Structure 1
Amino acid sequence: MENVARLLKDLFVPIHEVAYMADEPNEELQALGYEGYWPLYFASRSAPLGQVPAEVVDALFYNFAPGEVAACIPSVWDVATPEAVLAARQRGCVAALRHILGDLADSPVIARAAELFTKAAFSAPLEGRVLFAALRSLPVPEEPLAKLWHAATLLREHRGDGHTAALVANSINGQESHVLLALFWDMKPREFGRLDPLTDDQLAEVIDGLHHRGLIDNNGGFTPAGRKLRTNIESLTDALAAPAYTCLTPQEIEELTTDLPPLIQKIKAASPF
């Protein structure tokens, strides 16, 4: 089922990521009073948890630079409640998908994908997956497009919680995970945007730590051990995600992988990145 987990990830992640790639979710959150990208990001993504301390959000989100979360949490809750933020985020994401997909937004493919992804999300194990569990406690929308976005978000955060577990199990901290992902994508670490908050000295310290562990060579690239470790982390992430999809029959998986890709291509084509 690991291959299925990777195959389906490529379908539900673009649906979820309109939350970060489209204008409509930001506009809905800005209408609540949020200014700047990061306050609305931390408010909307952590809202299922309720008003928890910054330390909790930092632990769950895992790979933000020191101080990034605390700059926004808990002050974002002086602007709006988690309930209001969740509603605004969903409205914005559904509006974005409807804008991108046009008439396809009401197609039978959307309704069927929403049904199957929801089935998978509610078959996925909760153990050790705090953000996913918080999302699972929320009501499931009835409208098919909203239901599809909600299910895609559930599956994305289920996978994300598992990915964090895979990183922790391999003693990779948050900033190290960014460096290894940059190299995995054939980028230099300084070109990887999520490392921007680090100073040159801080980034050098992270890279030196990976070098001393034999994961990065003298030229700043992967050693064989480093590449193997990063590949193994991805494989473990797939393995931890896979139980969600054992409830789907081969025919249902084929439905998703045959019918959804044309719609996903439209969503990906609309992304600014």
Structure 2
Amino acid sequence: MSHPHPVARRMYDLVEPIGLMPYFADESDQALMALGLRNPWDAYFAGRAAPFGGTVPAEVVHAVFYNFAPGEVARHLPRVWELTTPEAALAARERGCVAGLRRILGDLADTPGIGRAGDLLLTAATSAPVEGRALFSALRALPVPREPVARLWHAATLLREHRGDGHNVALLAEGIGGTEAHVLHALSVHMPAKEFGRVGHLPAARLTAVIDGMRSRGLIGTDGWLTDTGHAAKERVEAMTDRLAEAPYNALGPGELELLAADLAPISATIRAVFPS
């Protein structure tokens, strides 16, 4: 059903903390590194790209992930598949994220709300069309865990990557390139681009060229911050991302949405207390 008011932004705030477990919980990296990977970025690319299997070229993963600087993906893929397998990486990622969630949630991890939230999120996630959603569709092809905490994390990951695929569409529609997306985000939260983790490591000349290109299009002013045009572009990207993320929640009725929100609220709040944004 179609809801009278947009729910994607509301659900994003509740689901995103769960979906971020691979990047904030040490257990995820530890489980992946135990497979013989060399560093946390090996763990990132192995865990996130594993649904595609071990034969997809780095260039394809770069296109799907969208927002890494040229060459970053190729420093890790396909090299990681000489050290482990996609199947082992998927299992380790899930195992680590479940361990991290259980550590953070404590007794909350064994309450009925975990199972209810996981089932409702899975209903939403598996109802969404896969067309144009490369990473989401790859995740959809994976087996669904039965254990409630793992099921909740899996469903949240599906919805996170569904939204992420749509976010890439929104960026493309605005003509915002991958590295530019990070600059746009950093400046929108009043952080100098050179201090933002995803691009701060780039050679100064490369980052300067990206910023100069955005300045030439009127997105960044001579003061180094976003112009009104830049802020408007960012707002359009976020609005389109929300619109494209609505479809999964149309599978849930108003009562189910309210129950889901009520169950997710303490889970999200507990995680945010440990990993504040």
Q: What SS does structure 2 have at the residue aligned with 1:194?
A: helix
Match of 1:218 among 218, 222, 225: 222
8 Å CA contact 1:64, 1:175 repeated in 2: yes
Aligned to 2:108: 104
**Percent same amino acid at aligned positions?**
56
In the alignment, structure 1 segments of 5+ residues that lack a partner are none
Q: With structure 2 as the length reference, what TM-score do the two structures score? A: 0.96
Equivalent residues in 2 for 1:219-258, closer than 5 Å = 219-258=223-262
Aligned to 1:167: 171
8 Å CA contact 1:21, 1:272 repeated in 2: no
8 Å CA contact 1:43, 1:76 repeated in 2: yes
CA distance in 2, matches of 1:4, 1:266: 22
Aligned to 1:26: 29
Letter in 1 for 2:188: F
1:7 aligns with 2:6: no
Q: Which moved more, 1:26-35 or 1:144-153?
A: 26-35
CA distance in 2, matches of 1:115, 1:79: 35
Letter in 2 for 1:31: A
CA distance in 1, matches of 2:191, 2:29: 28
8 Å CA contact 2:15, 2:264 repeated in 1: no
For residue 3 of structure 1, report the CA deviation from its aligned partner.
3.1
For residue 271 of structure 1, report the CA deviation from its aligned partner.
2.2
Aligned to 1:266: 270
1:16 aligns with 2:42: no
Q: Deviations for 1:17-44, whole angstroms, at most 9, x for unmatched residues?
A: 1111111111111111112111111000
1:144 aligns with 2:148: yes
8 Å CA contact 1:65, 1:197 repeated in 2: no
1:113 aligns with 2:117: yes
8 Å CA contact 2:33, 2:40 repeated in 1: no
Match of 2:134 among 130, 134, 137: 130
For residue 272 of structure 1, report the CA deviation from its aligned partner.
7.3
Paired residue total: 273
CA distance in 2, matches of 1:105, 1:174: 36
1:196 aligns with 2:210: no
Match of 1:155 among 159, 164, 169: 159
Q: Which moved more, 1:143-152 or 1:215-224?
A: 215-224
Q: With structure 1 as the length reference, what TM-score do the two structures score? A: 0.97
Letter in 1 for 2:24: M
Q: 1:254 to 1:261 in 2, by over 3 A?
A: same
Coordinate RMSD, CA, aligned: 1.2
CA distance in 1, matches of 2:178, 2:37: 26
In the alignment, structure 2 segments of 5+ residues that lack a partner are none
Q: What SS does structure 1 have at the residue aligned with 2:130?
A: coil
8 Å CA contact 2:116, 2:263 repeated in 1: no
1:47 aligns with 2:70: no
Match of 2:67 among 28, 51, 63: 63
For residue 184 of structure 1, report the CA deviation from its aligned partner.
1.3
8 Å CA contact 1:11, 1:261 repeated in 2: yes
Q: What SS does structure 2 have at the residue aligned with 1:260?
A: helix
Letter in 2 for 1:118: L
8 Å CA contact 1:38, 1:72 repeated in 2: yes
Letter in 1 for 2:178: G
